[in-house]
Amino acid sequence: MKTLLHMQGLTKEYGKEKAVDDVTFSLNKHTSTALIGPNGAGKTTILSVLAGLLKQTKGSIVFDGEITEDFRKGIGFLPQYPKFYSWLTALEYTEMTAKLSGVDVKIARLEAEKTLEFLGLGDAKKKKTGTFSGGMKQRLGLAQAIVHKPSLLLLDEPVSALDPIGRREILNLLKELQASTTILYSTHILNDAEEMMDQLLFLRKGKLVEQGSMREVREKYANPVYKMYFSSSEEAARFVELSPWSARQENSIAFIHIEEAKPLMNEVLRVLSDSNLSLSKVERATASLEEIFLQVVNKG
């Protein structure tokens, strides 16, 4: 698979503080990659450097085999909170951004119309953007990011402000877009990343602390997870309190993470016996991306 972008040793400093610290990764063509990390981890800074909104302090970026600043004409960027000119219609706004992004003025309107239609805004193209709902604005923001057919699409928390239906619609559109572009996507909604991303980049305090495919990350961090079913949430909470393992509770179920080599059931039975708790069922489950994320960002 051909590499579209390689970032080497990227560092962004503000005085003595490093917002991004020596980050290196590559993006293959027509793949989706998630930047995952808590607030302040450096996700938006990395996207802003790639989009040309910030200048890195150190490091190099190779785009399609070349070290050049001109690669940004091949990038589309959707910030977390896109802003619009409320007096423009959706078509006027998208046509304007198409021209600014280098689309020939002779075809800019046609490309804007096609893009709005693709994103489900065809019927609203003559409405002023100031009348748009949150979901419509997110689609319009995506329109300005893709109207010039970029090689790389940068998305900063693109669905964080949407309801479940709106989030699902945008995710489906992104899956379609992957056939024609490469996507780098920051998110804290881990279920979304789990569903559609080919590669995961975990950031903590500006450093890249883990990267790999979903399968690779699962194999490395997903110690067995067991679901322990109790008769009440109080019993589950009591078990979590007494458990010598990493554990959490959801209603009447306790989840425990444990290394395969440990004699699980003997130790579980001992805890149950000592605390007079009754267990109705045990199931082995797959660790969620959220659970893996917590392991990754809390290590070290």
pLDDT (tens digit, 9 = 90+) per residue, 56-87? Answer: 999 999 998 887 777 888 999 999 889 999 99
3-class state of residue 210 by DSSP: strand
**CA atoms of 298 and 204, how far apart (whole Å):** 9
Q: Which fold has domain 3-220?
A: Rossmann fold (3.40.50)
d(CA 172, CA 177) in angstroms, rounded, equals: 9
**Would you call 215 helix, strand, or coil by DSSP?**
helix
Fold matches, 3-220 and 222-288 = no
* pLDDT band per the 50, 70, 90 thresholds, residue 219: confident
Number of H helices, E strands in the chain: 10, 14
Just give the CATH number of 222-288. 3.30.70
Say how far apart CA 98 and CA 101 lie, in whole Å.
5
Q: What are the DSSP calls for 100-135, one per residue? A: HTT--TTTHHHHHHHHHHHTT-GGGTTSBGGG--HH
pTM: 0.81
Beta bridge partners of 36: 187, 202
Average pLDDT value over all residues in the chain: 88
Indicate the domain borders of the chain.
3-220, 222-288
* Cβ 198 vs Cβ 257: under 8 Å: no
pLDDT of residue 261: 46
Cβ atoms of 54 and 61 closer than 8 Å:
no
Q: Is the pLDDT of residue 163 over 90?
A: no
